[in-house]
C-alpha cells in the first residue's frame, strides 16, 4: 500500500492504490462534478486573479527516446508489484528472451506475455523507468497503440519512486480493463496541492485534492472522453500526448494522428499555439516546483491489482468474466491487445 505522510516509505511504494478513482464507476458523480466545475469556472472573478501566467516558453530538444536504442535509456523494474497485481515484472534479459520489449527503427513495443499458460505467481509483464530524471520540461509522446483488455491496468507516468510521494507523481495516461471510458490524468502529492481553482481544460475535473492522504489517495484527476484511450485512441494510428511541466502549472494535450500540430512535426513545439489542453493543473494553490522533481518516465502494464481488479471496475463496469486473477492466468491469448507501442519520446527544456 502507499504509505501515509509521516511514515517511512518503501523506495518502491509509488503506484500503490487503495479504493481510489471511485468516480470513474459513477457517472452520476462525474456529471455532478462537471456541473460544479462549470459553475465555479464561470462565476465572474472567481479565482481569475490567481490564474497563473502561462506565457510562451522557447523549448529546445534535450533527450530523444526512439529507434533501435529506445530501451537502452530505461531500467527494468523487476521487484514485486506494490499494487498487489497478478503480475510478474521481468528483467531486461527475460523481457528480451520472451519478446516482451523490442524496438525497430520506427517503433518501440512493451507487451504482456501471451503464451505462458496458468502462471502461478502472476502473468509476465514489463515496467520500465527512464535513466534520466526531470524537474521540468515539455514531454512529447508519440503513441501508436495503448494497451487494453480485461484485467489490464496500464499507465504512462512520471515519478521519483525512491522518494514517493514527496517528489510527486504525474499520471499522463492511465486506464483499466477495456479502457473505453477514456484516459484519466492525475497528480499525487504530499499535503498542500489543490486543484479546486479556476482551470482551463477540455477534460472533466474529478477530485480536487492532490494530497495522497485525502480521500483514499484519489489524487486530483481529469477524465478524457472515450477517444483519448484504448480502441477510440488507437483507431487511426493513435497520436500524440504532450505534457508541459513548469512552475506555472502542469498541462496535458492529446492530438489524434491526423491533427498533430505542425510545430511538433517540425521539432519546434510551441504549446501556446495548441489551444485548450485536455487537462490543466495550475499552480494557483500548488507550488509545482516543490511538489514535482527528480522524476523518471515510467511505462508499465499492471494486471488486476487494487484498481483493475476491483469488482466495480472489472465486473460491474466492463462485464469481465470470473475473478480477475483467474482470467489473467488462464487466458494468455486474450492479451494480444495489451501492449504499448511508441513512435518515440522527445523531451524539451526551456531555454534561458
Q: Give the model's pLDDT for residue 14.
A: 60
Residues 6+ apart with CB under 8 A from 131: 73, 74, 75, 296
Active site residue 174: yes
Q: Is residue 17 part of a domain?
A: no
The Cβ-side half-sphere exposure at 205, using a 13 Å CA radius, reads: 24
Give CA–CA dist 236/259, Å, rounded.
11
Q: Is residue 51 part of a domain?
A: no
Q: Is residue 12 part of a domain?
A: no
Give CA–CA dist 213/332, Å, rounded.
37
Number of domains forming the structure of the chain? 1
Q: Is residue 291 part of a domain?
A: yes
Q: Is residue 3 part of a domain?
A: no
User: Dihedral of CA 327/185/128/289: which sign?
Assistant: negative
**Using a CB cutoff of 8 Å and minimum separation of 24, what contacts does 22-31 make?**
22/218, 22/312, 23/206, 23/207, 23/218, 23/221, 24/181, 24/184, 24/223, 24/313, 24/317, 25/312, 25/313, 25/316, 25/317, 30/204, 30/206, 30/223
Are 138 and 269 in contact, with CB atoms under 8 Å apart? yes
What cell was used for 313?
A: 471496475
Q: What distances in angstroms separate CA 228 from CA 1, 114, 181, 183, 186, one per listed residue? A: 29, 25, 9, 6, 14
CATH number at residue 271: 2.60.120.200
Q: Is residue 180 part of a domain?
A: yes
Residues 6+ apart with CB under 8 A from 202: 224, 276, 277, 278
**41 pairs with which residues across the strands?**
none
What cell was used for 148?
A: 487494453
- Which domain range does residue 318 map to? 22-42+60-350
Q: Give the model's pLDDT for residue 216.
A: 84
Q: Is residue 8 part of a domain?
A: no
* 3-class state of residue 122 by DSSP: coil
Active site residue 28: no
Q: Give the model's pLDDT for residue 215.
A: 86
Reported as type and span, the H/E element at residue 187 is strand 184-188
pLDDT tens per residue across all 352 residues of the chain: 233 333 233 334 465 543 344 333 333 433 344 444 444 444 444 444 589 999 999 999 999 999 999 999 999 999 999 999 999 999 999 999 999 999 999 999 999 999 999 999 999 999 999 999 999 999 999 999 999 999 999 999 999 999 999 999 999 999 999 999 999 999 999 999 999 999 999 999 998 999 999 988 889 999 999 999 999 999 999 999 999 999 999 999 999 999 999 999 999 999 999 999 999 999 999 999 999 999 999 999 999 999 999 899 999 999 999 999 999 999 999 999 999 999 999 999 998 6
Among residues 66, 129, 169, 198, the one annotated as catalytic is: 169
Q: Is residue 52 part of a domain?
A: no
Among residues 66, 129, 174, 198, the one annotated as catalytic is: 174
Amino acid at each position: 500500500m502507499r504509505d501515509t505522510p509521516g511514515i517511512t516509505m518503501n523506495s518502491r511504494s509509488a503506484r500503490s492504490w487503495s479504493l481510489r478513482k471511485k468516480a470513474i464507476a459513477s457517472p452520476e458523480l462525474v456529471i455532478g462534478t462537471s456541473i460544479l466545475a462549470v459553475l465555479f469556472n464561470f462565476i465572474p472573478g472567481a479565482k481569475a486573479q490567481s490564474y497563473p501566467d502561462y506565457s510562451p516558453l522557447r523549448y529546445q530538444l534535450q533527450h530523444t527516446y526512439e529507434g533501435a536504442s529506445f530501451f537502452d535509456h530505461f531500467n527494468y523494474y523487476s521487484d514485486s508489484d506494490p499494487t498487489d497485481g497478478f503480475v510478474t515484472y521481468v528483467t531486461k534479459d527475460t523481457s528480451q528472451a520472451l519478446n516482451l520489449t523490442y524496438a525497430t527503427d520506427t517503433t518501440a513495443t512493451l507487451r504482456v506475455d501471451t503464451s505462458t499458460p496458468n502462471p502461478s505467481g502472476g502473468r509476465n509483464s514489463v515496467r520500465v523507468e527512464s535513466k534520466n530524471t526531470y524537474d521540468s520540461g515539455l514531454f512529447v509522446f508519440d503513441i501508436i497503440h495503448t494497451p487494453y483488455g480485461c484485467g489490464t491496468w496500464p499507465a504512462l507516468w512520471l515519478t521519483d519512486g525512491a522518494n514517493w510521494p514527496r517528489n510527486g507523481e504525474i499520471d499522463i495516461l492511465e486506464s483499466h480493463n477495456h479502457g473505453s471510458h477514456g484516459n484519466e490524468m492525475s497528480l499525487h502529492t504530499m499535503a498542500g496541492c489543490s486543484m479546486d481553482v479556476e482551470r482551463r481544460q477540455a477534460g472533466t475535473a474529478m477530485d480536487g485534492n492532490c494530497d495522497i492522504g485525502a480521500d483514499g489517495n484519489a489524487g486530483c484527476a481529469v477524465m478524457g472522453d472515450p477517444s483519448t484511450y484504448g480502441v477510440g485512441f488507437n483507431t487511426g494510428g493513435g497520436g500524440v500526448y504532450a505534457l508541459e511541466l513548469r512552475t506555472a502549472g502542469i498541462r496535458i494535450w492529446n492530438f489524434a494522428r491526423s491533427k498533430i500540430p505542425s510545430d511538433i512535426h517540425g521539432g519546434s513545439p510551441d504549446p501556446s499555439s495548441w489551444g485548450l489542453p485536455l487537462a490543466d493543473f495550475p499552480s494557483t494553490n500548488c507550488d509545482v516546483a516543490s511538489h514535482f522533481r527528480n522524476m523518471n518516465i515510467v511505462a508499465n502494464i499492471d494486471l488486476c491489482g487494487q484498481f483493475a481488479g476491483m469488482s466495480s471496475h472489472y465486473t460491474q463496469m466492463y462485464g469481465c468474466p470470473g475473478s480477475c486473477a483467474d482470467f489473467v492466468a488462464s487466458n494468455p491469448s486474450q492479451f494480444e491487445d495489451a501492449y504499448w507501442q511508441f513512435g518515440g519520446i522527445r523531451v524539451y527544456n526551456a531555454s534561458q
